[in-house]
């Protein structure tokens, strides 16, 4: 049995079809997610990306289980610096943040804004909480991991093994001007 979901940018032009369950649903507290989120939030029409405690929510999904079914030409990438290994990709049509990608990674960390309210997978853990000035403000409803811990990497590695160590490529045509 396959279960799938389509998530879309706010205006509906960019659609990603997700096959199967996510690798994990996390909140990242790292400084670069906060900085990048705050930059992207200044774009007209952008939703809130970084929440009040400094967290950015992501659904991590295998790349081979993501299909960009429409609007690929609208995707724009944003890097914190020209040589940054991480890019964040926004739907340029309506400035909805779509995903974060580590270069060469086998998964995408999907921003949760494209999910309908109530359909977002529940958070399983927080990562990089050591980047917060005061991590004690975080609730202890899920594990708060100081870095990307062994448990986090084990989940990623498990997914990569199932993918037979392939890392599909995502073509992004344009850069974001902020």
Site for Zn ion in 74-93 (CB under 5 A): 91, 93
Rounded Cα distance between 121 and 109, Å, is 13
Pairing between β-strand 66-70 and β-strand 15-19 as defined by DSSP bridges: antiparallel
Q: How far is the CB of 148 from Zn ion (least distance, A)?
A: 9
Would you count residue 30 as binding Zn ion (CB under 5 A)? yes
Q: How far is the CB of 132 from Zn ion (least distance, A)?
A: 11
The nearer residue to Zn ion, 11 or 39, going by C-beta atoms, is: 11
Q: Which pair of tokens denotes residue 24?
A: 């994990």
Which is nearest to 96 in space by CA: 1, 9, 2, 3?
A: 9
Would you count residue 94 as binding Zn ion (CB under 5 A)? yes
Pairing between β-strand 56-62 and β-strand 174-175 as defined by DSSP bridges: unpaired
The nearer residue to Zn ion, 83 or 161, going by C-beta atoms, is: 83
Would you count residue 167 as binding Zn ion (CB under 5 A)? no
Q: Which pair of tokens denotes residue 142?
A: 């899920």
Contact 9, 25 (CB under 8 A): no
Q: Which stretch binds Zn ion (CB under 5 A): 35-43, 59-67, 94-102, 137-145?
A: 94-102
Would you count residue 172 as binding Zn ion (CB under 5 A)? no
- Reduced to 3 states (helix: H, G, I; strand: E, B; else coil), residue 119 is coil
Q: Which stretch binds Zn ion (CB under 5 A): 9-17, 35-43, 117-125, 145-153?
A: 9-17
Rounded Cα distance between 118 and 129, Å, is 25
Q: How far is the CB of 164 from Zn ion (least distance, A)?
A: 27
Would you count residue 9 as binding Zn ion (CB under 5 A)? yes
Q: Which pair of tokens denotes residue 107?
A: 């998964």
Among 16, 24, 33, 89, binds Zn ion (CB under 5 A): 33
Which is nearest to 26 in space by CA: 106, 140, 125, 105?
A: 125
The nearer residue to Zn ion, 27 or 63, going by C-beta atoms, is: 27
Which residues sit at the interface with Zn ion, rule CB under 5 A?
Answer: 9, 11, 13, 28, 30, 33, 91, 93-94
């Amino acid at each position: 049995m396959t279960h799938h979901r389509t998530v879309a940018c706010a205006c509906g032009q960019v659609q990603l079809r997700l096959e199967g369950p996510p690798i994990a649903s996390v909140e990242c507290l790292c400084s670069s997610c906060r900085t990048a989120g705050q930059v992207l939030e200044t774009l007209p029409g952008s939703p809130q990306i970084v929440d009040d405690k400094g967290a950015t929510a992501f659904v991590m999904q295998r790349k081979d289980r993501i299909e960009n079914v429409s609007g690929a030409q609208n995707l724009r990438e944003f890097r914190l610096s020209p040589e940054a290994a991480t890019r964040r990709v926004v739907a340029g049509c309506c400035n909805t943040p779509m995903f974060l990608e580590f270069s060469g990674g086998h998964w995408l960390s999907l921003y949760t804004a494209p999910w309908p309210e109530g359909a977002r997978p529940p958070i399983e853990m927080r990562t990089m909480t050591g980047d917060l000035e005061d991590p004690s403000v975080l609730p202890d409803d899920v594990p708060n991991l100081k870095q990307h811990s062994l448990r986090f990497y084990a989940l990623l590695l498990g997914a990569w093994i199932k993918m037979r160590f392939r890392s599909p490529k995502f073509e992004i045509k344009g850069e974001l001007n902020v």
